[in-house]
């Protein structure tokens, strides 16, 4: 008899700590938005929550809900807490306004012949990389390593970027043209002395035909250099005479890649 009484007392104690049909759950509190994710404090005993967003309802067992599927506009959000068939009152209305910037990513450039970069856009969840009008990759930072792609040498490609807000995207950026040219051979070193009157002769490691020359990202006209033999290239000193003392990079473009030349002005 004593055992039955003790068991009954324990059972009543356990039940007294549970939610019953006569109990009322507290409503969700401390609603706040981070990026586009709505969060709230846990409600004791609640097993799931129902969000009412402008009259549409969504259920979740988490303490957060991603709103990035919503279009730009104003939204009134309130939340119920549930335990089985027992539910709370609605939370106070939480107002959200989405005014996403769908302007295309700006300042898209290629750095060091390998990194596609652009200005970061606030609140985007990812960026799409487009090559020749085809989406080829996703990234979560405002840059992309083009060496991850398999590109044919000397074949030009057009790259663009879009920012993504969940299922929404910005306009495409202005196209950036890129032609893959690997560096071939070792970096050649040359020195030019200011006021030097003689031509600057760069000796090549292997017989090579130079198709064009770029100096610090600027195209050098063939009027300023000659290649009488395929083992060297001669430059008119006027290419260098206006430069300050320092080291500069020149690129000699061929059909298979480019030869890097570091020229020191002294």
Residues facing 57 on adjacent strands: 52
For residue 14, is it within any domain? no
Same domain membership, residue 167 and residue 207: no
Residue after which a domain boundary falls, among 179, 212, 228: 179
pLDDT at 9 over 80: no
- Separation between Cα atoms, residue 193 and residue 208, nearest integer Å: 26
Range of the domain at 116: 109-179
The CATH number of whichever domain residue 222 belongs to comes to 2.60.40
Sheet holding 64-66, edge to edge: 32-34, 37-39, 64-66
- What b-and-e string marks burial along 55-72, b requiring 16 or more CB atoms within 10 Å of the CB? eeeeeeeeeebebbebee
pLDDT at 16 over 60: no
Rounded to two decimals, the pTM is 0.58
Same domain membership, residue 252 and residue 221: yes
**For the chain, how many structural domains are there in total?**
3
- For β-strands 143-145 and 115-117, DSSP reports them as antiparallel
Predicted local confidence at residue 11, as pLDDT: 42
Same domain membership, residue 171 and residue 199: no
For residue 193, is it within any domain? yes
Same domain membership, residue 90 and residue 120: no
pLDDT digits (tens, 9 = 90+) for 87-110: 999 999 999 999 888 999 999 999
Predicted local confidence at residue 12, as pLDDT: 42
Residue after which a domain boundary falls, among 150, 179, 208: 179
Contacts of residue 123, Cβ cutoff 8 Å, sequence gap at least 6: 35, 36, 100, 165
- Separation between Cα atoms, residue 194 and residue 143, nearest integer Å: 39
């Amino acid at each position: 008899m004593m055992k039955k009484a003790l068991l009954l007392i324990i059972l009543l104690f356990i039940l007294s700590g549970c939610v019953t049909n006569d109990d009322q759950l507290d409503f969700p509190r401390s609603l706040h938005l981070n990026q586009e994710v709505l969060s709230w404090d846990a409600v004791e005993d609640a097993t799931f929550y129902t969000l009412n967003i402008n009259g549409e309802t969504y259920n979740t067992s988490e303490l957060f809900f991603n709103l990035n599927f919503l279009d730009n506009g104003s939204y009134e959000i309130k939340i119920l807490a549930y335990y089985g068939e027992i539910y709370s009152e609605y939370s106070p209305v939480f107002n959200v306004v989405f005014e996403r910037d769908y302007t295309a990513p700006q300042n898209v450039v290629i750095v060091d012949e390998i990194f596609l970069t652009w200005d970061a856009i606030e609140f985007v969840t990812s960026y799409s990389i487009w090559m020749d009008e085809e989406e080829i990759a996703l990234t979560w930072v405002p840059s992309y390593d083009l060496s991850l792609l398999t590109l044919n040498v000397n074949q030009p490609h057009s790259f663009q970027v879009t920012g993504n807000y969940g299922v929404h995207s910005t306009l495409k950026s202005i196209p950036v043209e890129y032609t893959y040219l690997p560096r071939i051979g070792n970096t050649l070193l040359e020195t030019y002395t200011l006021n030097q009157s003689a031509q600057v002769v760069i000796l090549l490691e292997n017989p090579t035909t130079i198709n064009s020359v770029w100096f610090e990202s600027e195209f050098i006209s063939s009027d300023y250099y000659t290649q009488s033999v395929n083992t060297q290239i001669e430059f008119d000193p006027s290419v260098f005479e206006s430069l300050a003392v320092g080291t500069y990079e020149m690129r000699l473009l061929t059909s298979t890649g480019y030869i890097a030349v570091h020229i020191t002005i002294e």
